[in-house]
Amino acid sequence: QLQLVESGGGLVQPGGSLRLSCAASGSTLDYYVIGWFRQAPGKEREGVSCLSTYSGRTYYGDSVKGRFTISTDNAKRTMYLQITDVKPEDTAVYYCAARAEATTPRMCAADLYNYWGQGTQVTVSS
């Protein structure tokens, strides 16, 4: 019954910042693992950042470490991806996602996630 609706995408200049939001309905995100993924044309969907709302464990892809931050609000009804120092290669459709808490070494593997937002386009261009 969990549904995810994301927003916040758009056009941003290189070096700029933006924040993506993903609102949960039907359930809070308690005891879920949440994640942000992106897919550029002709490329496979990749895990950008993931977070266990139970343990606090996080994952960041190598290309975004130090620039992207994943978080939730205190009620765990909304998840965020704060993006800074954007680069042209960040251009993609970004998806929020969630899955039930479980032990796995593949924390941010897309095929493990059951619930998905509709996607929001992020375009980095001058």
Per residue in 18-64, pLDDT tens?
A: 999 999 999 999 999 999 999 999 999 999 999 999 999 999 999 99
Residue 122: pLDDT above 90? yes
C-alpha dist (Å) from residue 92 to 5, 22, 27, 31, 112: 17, 16, 28, 28, 21
Q: How far is CA 17 from the centre of its chain?
A: 15
- Looking at residue 48, its pLDDT comes to 98
Tokens representing 126? 């001058």
Give the pLDDT confidence score for residue 103 in this predicted structure: 81
